[in-house]
Structure 1
Amino acid sequence: MRNILGSEIDSAAAKLTDSRVHLHDYGKAEASEGRKMGHITQISRDTRA
């Protein structure tokens, strides 16, 4: 999992090209520096954290 902060949310979806990666957008109206706007998760067969 990787947090998406502030204005990173604007370009995050465009960067996703792997079907194993999913963007969870929290739908917050305003982005500000350091504010958690969503997160990205990746599905993997590797169970090591």
Structure 2
Amino acid sequence: MKSTHRKVLDAAHRLGLSQSVIKIIEMRTKQDKYIFWGLFTTTVLFMYFFFNYMK
């Protein structure tokens, strides 16, 4: 009985840990998306102004 209870508690802890890891990964993915689009926009604007300046 004790070993079964311990296994259930261990599984619950692992599930809780994996859920928190999934949340961290989702937050990181959102942050990476913002960084990518910010840098992309900055690069496009820089290229636009640079080529207009060179004309």
Q: TM-score, normalised by structure 2?
A: 0.18
Larger Cα-atom Rg = 2
Q: Flag the structure with higher strand content.
A: 1
Q: Which has the higher contact order (CA 8 A, sep 6+)?
A: 1
Q: Flag the structure with higher helix content.
A: 2
Q: TM-score, normalised by structure 1?
A: 0.19
